[in-house]
Amino acid sequence: MSTPILTRSLLALALSAACAGAYAATAAPAAASKQALVEQVLKLWNPDTIGQSMLQIPVADAVQQARAMLQGRAVPEKRDAAMVDIVNEAKAFMAEATPITKASADKLIQTKIAPLMAERFSEEELRQLIAILESPVKKKFETMLPEMQKTLGEGVAADTRAVIDPKLQGLKEKIGLRLRAAVTP
């Protein structure tokens, strides 16, 4: 009696091992295919521009403040020349800082955003996003956008603060010097 029980137990154990091996073999490609779908969504969404958008806000504010300060305080020739210099400084700042934030975003997209998407979306949902269908999945993705943008934005800010803040301060100082020179008779 113990031999048939032992045989059945060994057979069950072998079957379990075979099933587990088959599951593991199919689970790995599923993870790879899901990752490919996440990568495709990220390419379509293009979140690496979030860092650049974050830079544009304070730079545009600084230029706008300079324009407002010069208005009525400087003669048109000095005002216009100062604004040309200020805009050129802002453009140079953006040209220098954009690659820094883009590199940070690219890194954080892979380490923070891609895993978040892989965790919260199924392969079918990712396919629906890629196809840009009108569906509840699109709404789910759009509701996650603020969280992902915030997560990425906070990560980019933390990752680039040591490099960007001094550069932004330098830009503000250059603008201040140019403004003083423009309004001084």
Calculate the alpha carbon distances from 11 to 23, 24, 51 in Å.
Answer: 18, 20, 58
pLDDT of residue 25: 38
pLDDT of residue 64: 93
- Report, as an integer, the average pLDDT of 64-92: 92
The one-letter amino acid at 35: Q
Decide if 113 contacts 148 (C-beta within 8 A).
yes
User: Is pLDDT of 135 > 70?
Assistant: no
pLDDT-above-90 percentage for the chain: 52
Calculate the alpha carbon distances from 41 to 61, 88, 110 in Å.
Answer: 32, 35, 12
**Whole-number CA gyration radius for the chain:** 28
pLDDT of residue 71: 85
Decide if 169 contacts 62 (C-beta within 8 A).
no
Return the minimum-mean-pLDDT range out of 65-74, 95-104, 112-121: 65-74
Q: Determine if the pTM surpasses 0.75.
A: no
Burial pattern 84-123, b for ≥16 Cβ within 10 A else e, equals ebbeebbeebbeebeebbbebbeebbeebbbebbbeebeb
